[in-house]
Amino acid sequence: MVISRPRGTNDFLPDVTGKWQKLETMLRELCQQYGYKEIRTPIFEETELFSRGVGSTTDIVQKEMYTFNDHGGRSITLRPENTASACRAYLENKLYGQVQPVKLYYMGPMFRYEKPQAGRFRQFHQFGIELFGTEAPAADAEVICFAWELYRRLKIKNLQLKINSVGCPQCRPRYKQALQDFFRPHLDKLCASCQDRFERNPLRILDCKSPICQEIGNGAPLIYDFLCEECSEHFAQVQDFLRAANIDFELDPHMVRGLDYYTKTAFEIQVASIGAQSAVCGGGRYDGLIEELGGDHTPAVGFALGMERIFSALASQEDDLTVDDSIEVYIISAKNKQLKEAAFALASALRSAGISAEIELGDKSFKAQMKAADRLHAAHAVIFGEDEFAKGTAAVKDMINGGQVDIPIAELTVYLQAHRAQ
């Protein structure tokens, strides 16, 4: 029996990897323009990094991590996200000793044991940026602008940017208390998860997807009435910067996000047309995380986006990233050892000269080789025929504009270099 890939994972075949590479190039270009440098952290980390970093009471840590003991008896976890690892790397490699802010980006696979469905996988790919070392509201706005600019370049439509402030350790306890007072009389009507959240994190009840919890939550007190002066002022300034950058946003006082490390700004970008998993990106400020992981107080802000969801969003508007996978030269030869060797030598010479070239490796007919040249969208076909070969030439056919010329074999590389398709 053929072995299948694990549930919730994907094989990306050559017909899509070209698009992924194009997206990755766009992301790297944006990073260069915004001054973010790449980091690559391990795919697995000590489990404690995530239980402490992401939060021991979050769904991610409680239900979704791929955790195992290695042969040395250490508890290891496949990374469910990259922010905690970026913070660990910042601390471990003493990046706090560099000029601040430090601006990092990453992309790669993340792992969460979730219920697979459209847009939700167990191995998925995130691109993210993290900006360390400043509490300036402009930093939050810059991070949001980055995400917004990417979706603008990708021409993704119907985007909704939702922002919120989730306060800080000074003001949040008062809000938590007010929420518990509000939800207590309704406790038996809340879903099982929210009954669980009531004690440890009542803010999460606000973004529960269950219609009953949502209906009850509609009357809940709003965080904006509880923010301390610093958080309030910070939030107002983030909004001013977003307006200055002409970015449309909506305030969503119920958007809390599923990771425990957020302070002040939290945000999400959604594309309704891709269904239930509409969040294409999410992030926010996490001023306490570095300290939580043993470092000095270091403010930070960032976001991560699901790369698969970009392709879903493009597909939902019948769009896609276009990739030019044409080749420059297809070399055709008659079934004759000498000709085939000359064709083989030309293919090597062209590739050495930086020109993409394909050749029939077996003994397919002349007609089949012509077809292959068409299928691969070759700009030129070089034809080694017996008569021409006897004269020391080969025919070069312009497959785009038509026309054919005989060129001395020794000059083929130079000729093809000089006649590359633009």
Q: How far is the CB of 324 from ligand HAM (least distance, A)?
A: 28
For residue 170, the minimal CB distance to ligand HAM (Å) is: 21
The distance in angstroms from the start CA to the end CA of the chain is 48
3-state helix, strand, coil in the chain (%, to 5): 45, 20, 35
**Candidates 30-38, 205-213, 275-283, 349-357; binding stretch for ligand HAM (CB under 6 A):** 275-283
Question: Does 148 interact with ligand HAM (rule: CB under 6 A)?
Answer: no
Say how far apart CA 105 and CA 249 lie, in whole Å: 24
Instruction: Name which of 163 and 347 has its Cβ closer to ligand HAM.
Output: 163
Is 150 near ligand HAM (CB under 6 A)?
no
- Which residue's entry shows tokens 């697979």? 116
Size of the site for ligand HAM (CB under 6 A): 27
Residue 311 interacts with ligand HAM (CB under 6 A): yes or no: no
Angstrom distance (rounded) from CA 382 to CA 84: 55
- Dist. CA 238–CA 296, nearest whole Å: 25
CA distance 150 to 30: 8
Q: Is 283 in the site for ligand HAM (CB under 6 A)?
A: yes
Alpha helices, H only, 284-365:
289-292, 307-316, 337-352
Identity of the residue, 186 or 309, whose beta carbon is nearer to ligand HAM in the bound complex: 309
Q: What is the 3-state secondary structure (H, E, C) of 55-84?
A: CCCCHHHHHHCCEEECCCCCEEEECCCCHH
Would you say 121 or 389 has its CB closer to ligand HAM?
121
Of 170, 267, 164, nearest to 223 by C-alpha is 164
Stretch that binds ligand HAM, among 15-23, 92-100, 303-311, 313-321 (CB under 6 A): 303-311
Longest dimension (CA), the chain: 96
Instruction: Give the interface segment with ligand HAM, choosing from 118-126, 174-182, 204-212, 364-372 (CB under 6 A).
Output: 118-126
Does 120 bind ligand HAM (CB under 6 A)? Our answer is: yes
Q: Is 128 in the site for ligand HAM (CB under 6 A)?
A: yes
Residue closer to ligand HAM (CB basis): 121 or 235: 121
Of 227-235, 239-247, 281-289, 365-373: span binding ligand HAM (CB under 6 A): 281-289
Which residue in the set 106, 226, 303, 311 belongs to the binding site for ligand HAM (CB under 6 A)?
303
Peptide bond into 101 cis (omega under 30): yes
Among 41, 58, 85, 126, interactor with ligand HAM by CB under 6 A: 126
- Say whether residue 121 binds ligand HAM (CB under 6 A): yes
Q: For ligand HAM, which is the closer residue by CB, 146 or 330?
A: 146
Among all chains, which residue has been given the structure tokens 């260069």? 32
Residue 205 near ligand HAM by CB under 6 A? no
Q: From 69, 70, 68, 50, select the one nearest 60 (Cα to Cα).
A: 50
Q: CB of residue 10 vs ligand HAM: minimum separation in angstroms?
A: 10
Taking CA atoms, 262 is separated from 29, 59, 188, 252, 290, in Å, by: 28, 15, 28, 15, 12
Residue closest to ligand HAM (Cβ): 306
Whichever of 111 and 183 has its CB closer to ligand HAM, that residue is 111
Q: How far is the CB of 80 from ligand HAM (least distance, A)?
A: 7
Amino acid letter, 284: G
Site for ligand HAM in 69-98 (CB under 6 A): 81, 83
Residue 309 binds ligand HAM, judged by CB under 6 A: yes
CB 381 within 8 A of CB 370: yes
The answer to whether 103 contacts ligand HAM (rule: CB under 6 A) is no
Which residue number, 80 or 202, has a Cβ lying nearer to ligand HAM?
80
> Of 312 and 333, which CB lies nearer to ligand HAM in the complex structure?
312
In terms of CB distance, is 44 or 303 closer to ligand HAM? 303
CA 222/CA 191 separation, integer angstroms: 21
3-class SS at 413?
A: helix
Query: Burial letters for 343-382: b for 16+ Cβ neighbours within 10 Å, e otherwise?
Result: beebbeebeeeebebbbbeeeeeeeebbebbeebebbbbb
Residues of this chain that bind ligand HAM (CB under 6 A): 81, 83, 112, 114, 119-121, 124, 126, 128, 130, 258-259, 279-284, 286, 302-306, 308-309
